[in-house]
């Protein structure tokens, strides 16, 4: 298990594209300037040992060396031992609606991205609580099992999209059923399910399943995203809008937020429905709920005895920089015979 001691130094990687542009501009400027004084044949006679390949190779070694030095500044650390630690917290499962209707742009940037923002900012506010993520549309799938690894949760969350679910629709009941498999700690007294959706449920038995979950001690909080006025569902190809979803009669489908079913689900389990169109409102609400909940103690494993790894990257970085320094730009005999850039032909 790796972690970074100073991740802020990753910003130094902006140097790489900058020096790359400067390098390319320098080559272009030299070529243009040389042509003002002599043609290619004369330049070959004046500087017969000049090699573009060696120049590019030196630059590549320079970039690799700088990259290794930047990683050395970040200082990756590797955990060498797993230990069992005791923590206090609650179990929270997020059920994220990734149906096509969540792509509607009646709230910026769209309903799905707004839902992701809410979950991400909520995770940032949690302590030692365990979290899991379910995605659903016409069916439900586990995106992340229950874990204390909040960083992994946010990474998996960003990749959630409608293409990850084979069947479309909005079957909240599928997500509720799958939630039962997430609570693997029988001693956990506080279990929370947070459903984030536009509320377009297409199933009839959702309320009964919500009641079953409530009987098992799960409190369901629902967060609605989207407007009740609604919006069309955009169809995009490579990020470009190509039209809107149509019904069988050729009319544009308008998807609207349905807060009624979300409110009923939350009420059945003793939870609460929250308007999610403003990110901070549901984040603050959930934070208060979790903070006031009774915490249960549980055991989890985590890596310890993290050891510095910067010395390896520092060594490789200095090695590549030394190669860059001692590598001459002039042609060598074997390189001349290869004629990688067809320099001989261009000078005829």
- Residues 107, 227, single domain; the answer is yes
Q: Is residue 144 part of a domain?
A: yes
What's the rounded mean pLDDT across residues 123-137?
Answer: 90
Nearest to 67 by CA among 338, 324, 269, 270: 324
- 293 pLDDT exceeds 90? no
- Give residue 88's pLDDT: 75
Q: Is residue 69 part of a domain?
A: yes
Q: Is residue 49 part of a domain?
A: yes
- Residues 35, 56, single domain; the answer is yes
Q: Is residue 80 part of a domain?
A: no
pLDDT tens digit sequence for 183-211? 876 656 688 999 999 987 766 788 899 99
DSSP 8-state assignment for residue 252? B
pLDDT tens digit sequence for 230-240? 999 999 888 88
- Residues 131, 162, single domain; the answer is yes
- Residues 191, 227, single domain; the answer is yes
Q: Is residue 235 part of a domain?
A: yes
DSSP 8-state assignment for residue 297? E
Phi, psi of 215 (to 5 degrees): -65, -25
pLDDT tens digit sequence for 265-277? 999 999 999 999 9
- Residues 262, 143, single domain; the answer is yes
Instruction: Flag the least confident range among 119-133, 224-238, 287-301, 334-348.
Output: 334-348
Average pLDDT over all residues of the chain: 84
| % of the chain at pLDDT higher than 70 | 80
Instruction: Flag the least confident range among 17-21, 88-92, 220-224, 281-285.
Output: 88-92
Alpha helical stretches, state H, the chain: 15-35, 40-46, 52-74, 111-125, 150-158, 172-179, 206-215, 259-268, 280-292, 310-326, 333-338, 343-346
- 94 pLDDT exceeds 70? yes
Nearest to 336 by CA among 133, 44, 81: 44
Q: Report which listed range, 52-56, 85-89, 226-230, 324-328, is most confident.
A: 226-230
- Residues 229, 297, single domain; the answer is yes
- Residues 291, 200, single domain; the answer is yes
- 86 pLDDT exceeds 70? no
- Residues 220, 259, single domain; the answer is yes
Q: What's the rounded Cα separation, in Å, for the pair 205 and 173?
A: 7
- Residues 187, 287, single domain; the answer is yes
Q: Is residue 341 part of a domain?
A: yes
Q: Is residue 259 part of a domain?
A: yes
Which structural domain, as residue segments, surrounds residue 313?
A: 2-75+309-346
- Residues 30, 96, single domain; the answer is no
What's the rounded mean pLDDT across residues 145-171?
Answer: 86
Q: What's the rounded Cα separation, in Å, for the pair 119 and 297?
A: 24
What CATH number does the domain containing 221 carry?
Answer: 3.40.50.410
- 303 pLDDT exceeds 90? no
- Residues 28, 92, single domain; the answer is no
Of 267, 285, 301, which closes a domain? 301
**Cβ–Cβ < 8 Å for 130, 148:** yes
Give the DSSP H or E segment for 240: strand 240-244
The total of structural domains in the chain comes to 2
pLDDT tens digit sequence for 25-68? 988 887 777 677 666 666 665 555 666 777 888 899 999 999 99
pLDDT-derived band of residue 77, with 50, 70 and 90 as boundaries? confident
pLDDT tens digit sequence for 308-323? 888 889 999 999 999 9
- Residues 182, 242, single domain; the answer is yes
Q: Is residue 81 part of a domain?
A: no
């Amino acid at each position: 298990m790796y972690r970074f001691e100073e991740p802020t130094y990753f910003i130094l990687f902006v140097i790489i594209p900058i020096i790359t542009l400067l390098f390319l501009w320098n080559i272009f400027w030299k070529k243009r300037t040389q042509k003002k004084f002599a043609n290619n044949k004369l330049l070959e006679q004046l500087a017969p040992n000049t090699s573009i390949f060696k120049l590019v190779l030196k630059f590549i070694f320079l970039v690799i060396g700088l990259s290794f030095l930047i990683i050395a500044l970040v200082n990756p650390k590797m955990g060498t031992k797993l230990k069992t630690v005791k923590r206090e917290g609650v179990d929270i499962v997020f059920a994220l609606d990734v149906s096509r209707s969540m792509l509607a742009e009646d709230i910026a940037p769209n309903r799905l991205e707004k839902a992701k923002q809410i979950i991400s900012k909520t995770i940032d506010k949690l302590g030692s609580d365990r979290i899991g993520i379910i995605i659903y549309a016409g069916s439900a799938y586990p995106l992340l099992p229950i874990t204390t690894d909040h960083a992994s949760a946010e990474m998996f969350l960003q990749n959630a999209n409608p293409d990850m679910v084979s069947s479309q629709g909005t079957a909240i009941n599928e997500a509720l059923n799958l939630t039962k498999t997430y609570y693997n700690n029988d001693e956990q007294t506080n279990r929370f399910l947070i459903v984030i959706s536009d509320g377009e449920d297409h199933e009839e038995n959702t309320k009964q399943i919500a009641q079953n979950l409530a009987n098992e001690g799960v409190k369901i909080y629902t967060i609605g995203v989207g407007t009740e006025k609604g919006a069309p569902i955009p169809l995009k190809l490579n990020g470009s809008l190509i039209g809107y979803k149509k019904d069988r009669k050729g009319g544009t489908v308008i998807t609207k937020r349905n807060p009624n079913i979300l409110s009923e689900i939350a009420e059945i389990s003793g939870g609460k429905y929250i308007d999610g169109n403003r990110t901070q409102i549901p984040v603050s609400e959930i934070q208060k709920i979790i903070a006031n909940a009774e915490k249960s103690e549980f055991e989890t494993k985590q890596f310890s005895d993290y050891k510095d790894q910067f010395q390896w990257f520092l060594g490789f970085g200095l090695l590549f920089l030394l190669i860059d320094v001692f590598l001459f730009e002039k042609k060598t005999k074997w390189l001349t015979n290869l004629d990688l850039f067809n320099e001989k032909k261009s000078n005829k």
